[in-house]
Structure 1
Amino acid sequence: MTDKSMTQRIGFVPVRNFALMSYASATEPLRAANLISGSPLYEVVPLSVNAASVSCSAGFDLKCQDLAETGDTFHTIFVCAGGGPADWAGADSLYPHLRKLARQGVKIGAISSGAYMLAAAGLLDHHEFTIHWEHAALLRETFPHLTPRQTRFVIDGARITCGGGVAPLDMMHALITDRMGADFARRVSDWYLHTAVGDSVDPQRGSSAERFGTHHRVLLSVLEKMEISIENPLSRDAMATWAGVSTRHLNRLFIEHQDTTFSSAYRAIRLKHARRLIEQSALSVSQVAFATGFSNAAQFSNAFTAFFGLRPKDARRAAKTARSAEYALE
C-alpha cells in the first residue's frame, strides 16, 4: 500500500465532450482531501496526447499535460469520456500509452463511457467493470466477449471503472477510505453534503418500479426479463412459464397495469434499444435488426418506422446532424 505521507498522482484523460459533472465528481473529493488533511495527499493532473486542450460538455477547454511524458509516476489514470462514438473519434491514439502505463504497473480506470476506450485498448479482458448504462449495449455489441456490470463502480485490482454522473463521488469515497480510513473519507464526503454514500453494487438507474410505473411483482420481473432478452426474445407462453403464471393472466397484467399488450411492450423495449444502437454505433441496419431480435432488416425497418415515425437511416442521420450542430457551437 502507498505510504500515506506520499502524494499520489492521479491522472485524468478527458475525451472530447467529456461530462463535466463526472469529471468534477471524481476530482473534487481529491481536492477536498488535501484541504482537510492540510497536506498534498493527491495531485490531480489532466492529461492528453500531445498536451492538447480538450473541450468538455459545458463548452470550455481543459488544459492538459502530455500523456506521453507521464512515465510510471502516476498511481492511477482515469479515462473520462461522455457523449457518444462521434466524440471518441481519434481516441485510439490513447491506447498505446494506456497499454504501456498498465505494463508499468499504473492502475488504469475509466469514468462514464471511458470504459469503451479501455475495452478497445484490450485493457478490460479478464476484469470486472462497468460503464454508463447508456453505452452498455454498444459495448456489448462491439466487444461480445465483455459483459459490463450495471453497478455504480467496480474496483477490480488494477482496473477501476465508474458509471459516471455523481457515482464518482461514491467511487472516490471508497478509494479514499482504502487509503486514509473510513473516518477521514466521511469527512471528505461531508464536505460536499454527500451524506448518502452509495455502495459499489448499487444500481445506476432508478428502480424498475419507477421506470415502468408499476409495483406488481410478477409484471416487474417480466419487464426486467424483457430488457435482458432482446436479441432472442421469449415468446409470450415461454415468458408466462418463466414467471410462473398463465398466458392469459400475463396478458391481463399488461392490459391492466401498462395499458398495452405483452407484444407491444416487448417490441417497444427492443426498438428503444435499437434506436440507441442506430444513433451511437456504426452497426449496419441489418446488424442492429439481428441484435434486437428481428428476423431481417426489412421487418426491423418497418417496425422502427411505425414506432418512431422515421426510418432507421433517417434517425442515424438526424443524430449525426445534431452532433455536428453541437460541435459548431463550440
Structure 2
Amino acid sequence: MSFADLVRLAPDTTLRILLINAAGEHSIALAGLLQPLRLASRKLGAQRLLIELVAAPQLLQNLLLAPEQWPAANIVLLVADDDSAAMAAAESRRLIGYCQKAACYGAVGAAVLWLARAGAMAGVRTALPWALYPEVDEVADRAILTPNLFEIDGNRLSCCGGAASIDFALTLIGSMYGAGLQAQLKEALCIDRVRGAEERQRVALQARFGVLQPKLSEAVTLMEANIEEPLATDDIANLVGISRRQLERLFKQYLGSVPSRYYLELRLQRARQLLNESSHSMVQIGLMCGFSSGSHFSTAFGALFGITPREQRQRKLQPPAPVAQHQI
C-alpha cells in the first residue's frame, strides 16, 4: 500500500502512526514530528488519528517478549539525530523488519541512513541528511539520494530531520486530512509557510561535494543561477572545465540523474514555487523558468508533479475547509 492509498483511506478509517525514538528526549527532529501529529490527533480525535511514541530499546524488548502486543501501524517512522546512535546489526534488522510490516514506513534524520544500509530504500527517492553523505559508501547504489528536505515515494517516507521534520509532519497531515486542518496547526504552531518536499537542504550542495567534487558543485551553481535562460549541457561542461562525458558521469554517480534532467527539475521546482507564492501569470512563470512554449511548460510540469500548472495554482487558491474539533 502506498502513501497515496492511505490518503484515500484517511477520511473513513482510524490511522495509527508509530514513532520509534532512537534520538533521545531532546531531539529537534522528534519534537518537530510529534507536536504537529499530536495536535492533529487532538483536533480529529483518537478514533480517526492515533499517535504513539515508543523508545527503540523498549520496542525491541517487547518484540522479543510479546510481539503480538505490537501489531503493525499504518505508518511507522524511525527517528534518530546521530548516526553514532546506530544499534547492533541484529537489533537493527529486527527493528527494520518491524517497520516493513507497516503499510508505509520510513525514517527521519540519521535513521534514514540505517534503512538505506539495510537495503530498505533500494530504488526509492531518499532524503538523506546532508551531513551523512560522507558515510553513504555503498548506499548510493541502493537508494536514489536527493538533496530535498523530505521524500514520499510509494510506501517509503524519508526526511532529513531537524526543523524539516515540522514541514514533513504538516505535509503528511495536509495530504491525509486536508488544507483546513493543516492551516489550523500552522496557526497553533506560529508557522507561516510549510516548505514542500521539493525544497532543498540549502547548505547540502557545498557540504556534500565542496572540496571533493568542486566541478559538480560549480555545475549545479551555474544551473541555479541560470533558470530563466538555461545553459546547454556542453556550455556548462566548458564553463567548469571538464568534458560533457565527465560531467554526465559526475551527475550519474552523485545525483542519480543526467545534467539535462536535473536542470529541468530545478526549473520546474522553481516554477512550482512561483505558482504557489507569486501573482505572476502562468505564461510569465513559464518564461521566467526557461520555457518558451506554454504547452512545453505544462507538459513537463505535469510529467514531474502529476498535475498541470493551472491545477497547482487552483489548489493553492482553494479556501481551507473547516475541520471539526474534538477534544481527547
Q: What is the TM-score normalised by the length of structure 2? A: 0.56
Which secondary structure state, in structure 2, belongs to the residue aligned with residue 124 of structure 1? coil
Q: Deviations over 1:62-95 (max 9, x none)?
A: xx965844544411111101223x3214264132
Give the alignment partner of residue 43 of structure 1, picking from 34, 46, 50. Answer: 50
Question: 2: distance between equivalents of 1:145 and 1:183?
Answer: 38
Corresponding pairs, count: 216
Deviation of the 1:7 alpha carbon:
3.2
Give the conservation status (yes or no) of the 8 Å contact 1:22–1:168.
Answer: yes
Structure 1 match to 2:112: 115
Give the conservation status (yes or no) of the 8 Å contact 2:14–2:50.
Answer: yes
Structure 1 match to 2:229: none
Give the alignment partner of residue 218 of structure 2, picking from 207, 225, 233. Answer: 225
Deviation of the 1:130 alpha carbon:
1.0
Deviation of the 1:129 alpha carbon:
1.1
Structure 1 match to 2:29: 22
CA RMSD of the aligned region, Å?
3.7
Q: Which amino acid aligns with 1:32?
A: L
Which secondary structure state, in structure 1, belongs to the residue aligned with residue 128 of structure 2? coil
Question: 1: distance between equivalents of 2:240 and 2:86?
Answer: 47
Deviation of the 1:28 alpha carbon:
0.8
Return closer, same or farther for 1:186/1:49 CA change in 2, 3 Å cut-off. closer
Which structure: larger Rg? 1
Which secondary structure state, in structure 2, belongs to the residue aligned with residue 46 of structure 1? strand
Q: Deviations over 1:106-155 (max 9, x none)?
A: 31110011111112322111211111110123124555333311100000
Which secondary structure state, in structure 1, belongs to the residue aligned with residue 107 of structure 2? strand
What runs of 5+ residues in structure 1 fail to find an aligned partner? 54-63, 212-220, 229-239, 248-330
**Aligned pairs (5 A) from 1:73-222:** 73-84=72-83, 86-90=84-88, 92-102=90-100, 104-206=101-203
Q: Which amino acid aligns with 2:112?
A: A
Q: Which amino acid aligns with 1:26?
A: L
Q: What is the TM-score normalised by the length of structure 1? A: 0.55
